[in-house]
Chains A and B, each alone.
Chain A
């Protein structure tokens, strides 16, 4: 049975192209590639660590993920494409910076809303305290 299944074929690992299409960006190399690799890897969560990013973690899976990021950037994939490639297999969990989308938009909006309300409240309080003065 097993022998039947094994054919002499080209080794082919799953590739990002199957899932996110052709690269949309410019192929990077040299120092720019290294810098972008660290930048993009710092947006990905290492799945076996505790909240550490792929850029920071020395664990084996994080090193592989970082190598994958480097390869994809070198082939011209954009940050967005790379992030959605990882999101596809690991879920939203892998994105350290939540996308402004659906429920997750709240995490960006709520602090700003709080700031707005706070500014209004503080200026009202200040006016009230100044008014007590009688002028």
Chain B
């Protein structure tokens, strides 16, 4: 029995297996956002349709949902009715804001005409707002509490359950 070989070999093997085993519990596709717990980056963006500017500062004291999306994104089609239904359901208690990422105004207006709208939709030029929020792919949704702190983030198309579960953290 060669003890050094046994000990060193076992140490290397145990370390490798342990790391891989812990790794099995992670989903590498689900990137956790460092933005959670931080104040949401301020912005003032032009609203599609009206041409007016909406300033995030003005939404203080209202829990806010910021949804990043685009008309070229297939899952966004799925998610749109969920957002509209919930925006109508919560009415003035929660403010919904859509930020359209990398798109042109004409396609957005066509999309909203055909599929309806229930909350302001803002235009993000050159993706600057998306980058400040750490948006990777659309759709991504941020939940802000009354103080304007990001309390949750969801990547991918939301269902009503997901939306309301995350919203609870923002209302609390």
CB distance from A74 to the nearest CB of B (A): 13
A130, B48: Cα distance in complex, Å = 81
Count B interface residues, CB 8 Å. Answer: 39
CB distance from A55 to the nearest CB of B (A): 16
Contact of A5 among B59, B128, B131 (CB under 8 A): B59
A34 within 8 A of B: no
Contact A47–B136 (Cβ < 8 Å): yes
Contact of B127 among A19, A64, A86 (CB under 8 A): A64
A60, B31: Cα distance in complex, Å = 18
Of A9-17, A22-30, A96-104, the segment with at least 4 beta carbons within 8 Å of chain B is: A9-17
A120 within 8 A of B: no
Count A interface residues, CB 8 Å. Answer: 30
Residue of A18, A86, A87, A89 most packed against chain B (CB within 10 A): A89
Contact B42–A11 (Cβ < 8 Å): no
Chain B residues, CB < 8 A from A13: 43, 45, 124-126, 128-129, 132
In the complex, which residue of chain A has the Cβ closest to the Cβ of B38? A88
B167 within 8 A of A: no
Contact of A2 among B34, B119, B130 (CB under 8 A): B119
- Listed from nearest, the 7 A-B pairs whose CB atoms lie closest are A47-B136, A64-B127, A14-B132, A89-B134, A13-B128, A14-B41, A91-B34
- Which positions in A face B, CB cutoff 8 Å? 1-2, 5-15, 18-19, 47-48, 60-61, 64-65, 67-68, 86-91, 93
